[in-house]
Every structure is written in structure tokens, then in C-alpha cells.
Structure 1
């Protein structure tokens, strides 16, 4: 067992993947072995040094200090479904074995019909008891978000939440007040760093915590 992480000996990987719009991409990174086990360092290719440093901290954590004791014995995971056609979306969700799905949506006037069909296909694949969320990647203005969320919620037979539909905290708050679907924020978004707890509570119901961009489980 190693006593320190040997970065020079860390195995690198490049795995074919699918991006949020359904196109081909590559997931690249390194596996870091420490005295407590292994960690994965795979920051986004378009991120800066500050973001990469947080990912490196998160990757070193499980192999050095280890993770805190778990609070739950079992945690359900979600299958990510990119902006692909309905048949492919259904197949991806059905073959995953997951009972939850994070579905990428575009939500523009010329793409909403495809988003609705994709959401309906995923709902059919995971069943009525499954948890279905929509991920628009902060693309929408307020009015677009309200229209799209209402239509997608109907197509899904109920969404668990929609994640970060708009870019600014003010826009998120406006959407939050106009829709019945729960609104989630990506807690690692850089522009939330200076937002007060009160403003955040006014803008969203949930916070999505991602280990890598936040800098580890303890953060």
C-alpha cells in the first residue's frame, strides 16, 4: 500500500462518452492511489486552474484521509440522459437499471417538442414510481423556463425537480415563485459564492451537491 500519492505513476484514462447534447466526447482523467484507497481526478476540459484544484482536492480525499462514515446504507443513483432521440433515451434509461433519471432538455421554441418526447420516453422506461429530473444547464430566461417547466412536468407525469433553469439568482427566484415544480440550484456554481442564505432560499427548494467541483465530501 502506498504511503503517499505518486502522481507520476498515476494511470491516466480516456473513455468515450456522450455530451449533454448527445454528441461524442471523451472523459479524461487520472486515478490516484493513496494509503486509504483510490480517487478519480477528471475535471472538465474547459475549466480553469481554480476549478481543477478543487477537483484535485476531491480526488485526493478518499485515498488519503478517507471519506466520513456514511449516513445511509443505500443511496439511489440516477442515469444521465443527454439530448438524444426518444428511442435512444428510452433504451439508455431502461438498460441502466436505475429508478431515477436526469434528463437534459434544451427548451427553445424549436426543441421543446423533442424535449417533451424525450421526457415522456424516459418516464415510460423508469416507470411511474421513478424520480425524473430535468437539467437545462441554465439556458433559459424566466418566461421560457416557466413555459418549458409546465410542459415538461405534464409530460413526465410529475418532475421531482428542475435543476438551475436560469443563470442569475434573480431569475431563479422569479421562476421559483411561478411554478409548482421544485427548483434546485447547482451548489458548485461560481456565481452563488456571494449569495446570501436568504436569497438562496427564495430562489430554490434544493441544492445539488457535486463532490468534484465542490472540493470533496467534507465541503
Structure 2
């Protein structure tokens, strides 16, 4: 981007919200986000609180792209979206799925700290029982060892998964899991998420033949245009996902998915359904398993209703100021 908004401009345009979750997700009960309004629309800056300023930097670039540059042209008007099932007991799966309505695919969170493979298997089996024709994928967020991943994914194979997302954290571990499953005759694709967005070299996972597809998020990669470049250079199929965003952040994910030349899998952009509120009167929740492209109309009333408390607002504004300075804004 040729010209960055100044730090003062960003601070004056910033609004901080805290939106309660319907259910704990990633250990979060309230999702905090900082929104900025620029000449091209609204952008969202919501790196998780534990991320340091260096890791938060691309998230701000993404928010600035949305607010001051806008998104690249779309090649499709709507995007297929999967439901997301957190690491809940199997008995809680059905009401969670009901919030998403009809969907073509479901992502199931697994490898939660304190849970067992039996817990994961019960959750996966319940999703498959309820939606026998849906594409089914699991996401471990790098929570397994190589041996644990192979054991779990072998057990899951009877439920015909589309792919397993980030079963282990390290790239060499991903490759080891992928090769061992092939050796066992288990036809399960391996998807890389953290090994793309948390690596200093996001293309390494493709070069080392450690994954079959990429899971990409606009914000952690620095925006829609940068994410498109990474996918093009990697030469692998891509699934677009979200980082538990409000509809403003989801709109960037939809713009990314809509701009990809090919989009073979339903995307993980339905997580607004896991929240009890939003910043728009027309939340980006799937309609029949689809999201359409277009800008989000942010409601000032909802910004006020979900405004973060003064302490947290100050924390986010100070974070914005530090990260903006890192970007070189005046």
C-alpha cells in the first residue's frame, strides 16, 4: 500500500467492541475487536490478546487495506461456508449445528487440551450421524504429537473426512503424518493453517511437500491481496477461514474467497453464528450454506451496545498505536 493512514487518523477512527460468545471457543467467552472506518469502508484489527506486536502487524495491514484501499475484484458473487463445531461434548453438537442452518460442510475442533481421542471421535461421529452427506473436516490447531495425530486420524477414517487441518504444529511433523497416512492406505488430505500464517516463510510448507492444501486467513497474512499472492505462489488449493471475527472481519474473508481463481472447498467463514451479537444489523451468517459478497453496514447503536469497558478500550488503543508505529505510520 503506497500511503498509510497516520497513527492519529487510525486512533480517531477506532472503536473497540467486546462481543459475548454463545459458547466458549478457543478459550474465549468474549471476543474483543478494534474497528476502524476509512474512506473505503470498515476494517477490523483483532489479533488475539496473547499475540505480540510483531505478530499483530499483518492484522493491522489487513484492516488498513479494507478501510483505505478496498478489496480486489471478485470472480464469484457468493461463497460456500462450512459450519464450525467447537470442542464440545457430543450431546451439544446438534444445537450448535442448528444455528448454522443448511450447510455443505462442517469443521470439527479436536485435540482440545484435557480431552481425549475418544471425546473427539464421539464428536466427529455425531456430526456424521446428523449430516451423513456433508463434507467433514477436523482442525487440531497443532495440538497433537505425530503419533497422536496418526492414531486419531486413523480412527476418524471411517467417517470419511475431507481433510485434517494442522494436526501437528511443526512442518516436518505435518509431512511425517501425511506420509504415514499414505503408507497405511488412508486417503486423507492434510491442510496447513498455522504453518502458513505463523511462519516467517509462508511458502515453506508447500516447498517441503508437507500439505495438500492451505487454510488461509486474510488478517494474519496481511490482507486479501497478500493472501492471494501466497496462494498463487504456493500452487496448492486453498480454503479461506476466519479468526473469530465480527462481520467486518468476515467480509475480508469473503472478499478473499470471492477473488480466488479456484475455490474447491467450503470456507470457514460462518463463525459469526457462534457469537451472541455483532456490529451490524445484517450479520454475515450463512444463508443455506452460502455468504454473498459486499460491504458491511456497521451500526453505531451496536458499536455502543457492545463497546468494551474503558480499561480494555485503552489497552486496544495503546496496542493500535504501537503496531501502527511499527508499520511506519507517522
- Distance, in Å, in 1 between the alignment partners of 2:157 and 2:205 is 29
CA gap of 1:110–1:65, structure 2 versus 1, over 3 A, is closer
Aligned to 2:263: none
1:81 and 1:92 in contact (8 A); partners too: yes
Q: Report the secondary structure of 2:12's partner residue.
A: helix
Q: TM-score, normalising length from structure 2?
A: 0.59
Aligned to 2:104: 99
The count of corresponding residues between Structure 1 and Structure 2 is: 210
1:75-113 superposed Cα distances (whole Å, 9 cap, x missing partner): 112222211111222211132123322211117896111
Q: 2:14 aligns with which of 10, 17, 30?
A: 10
1:144-175 superposed Cα distances (whole Å, 9 cap, x missing partner): 11110121232xx2111111111222111111
The structural deviation recorded for 1:208 is: 0.7
Q: 1:209 aligns with which of 200, 204, 216?
A: 216
Aligned to 1:151: 155
1:161 and 1:183 in contact (8 A); partners too: yes
- Distance, in Å, in 2 between the alignment partners of 1:194 and 1:211 is 15
Q: Return the structure number with greater helix share.
A: 2
- Distance, in Å, in 2 between the alignment partners of 1:73 and 1:26 is 31
Q: Report the secondary structure of 2:179's partner residue.
A: helix
Alignment of 1:1-219 (within 5 A): 6-17=10-21, 18-20=23-25, 23-97=27-101, 98-106=103-111, 111-125=116-130, 127-154=131-158, 157-179=159-181, 180-186=187-193, 187-190=196-199, 192-193=201-202, 195=204, 197-199=206-208, 202-219=209-226
1:90 and 1:124 in contact (8 A); partners too: no
- Distance, in Å, in 1 between the alignment partners of 2:169 and 2:95 is 31
- Distance, in Å, in 2 between the alignment partners of 1:109 and 1:24 is 16
1:169-192 superposed Cα distances (whole Å, 9 cap, x missing partner): 211111111222100001202265
The structural deviation recorded for 1:193 is: 4.2
Unmatched tracts of structure 1, length 5 or more: none
1:114-173 superposed Cα distances (whole Å, 9 cap, x missing partner): 111111222233x2332221111112222211110121232xx21111111112221111
1:107 and 1:148 in contact (8 A); partners too: no
CA gap of 1:197–1:116, structure 2 versus 1, over 3 A, is closer
CA gap of 1:158–1:109, structure 2 versus 1, over 3 A, is farther
The structural deviation recorded for 1:34 is: 1.1
Q: TM-score, normalising length from structure 1?
A: 0.86
Greater relative contact order (Cα 8 A, min sep 6): structure 1 or 2? 2
User: What CA RMSD, in Å, does the superposition of the two structures yield over aligned residues?
Assistant: 2.3
Unmatched tracts of structure 2, length 5 or more: 182-186, 227-330
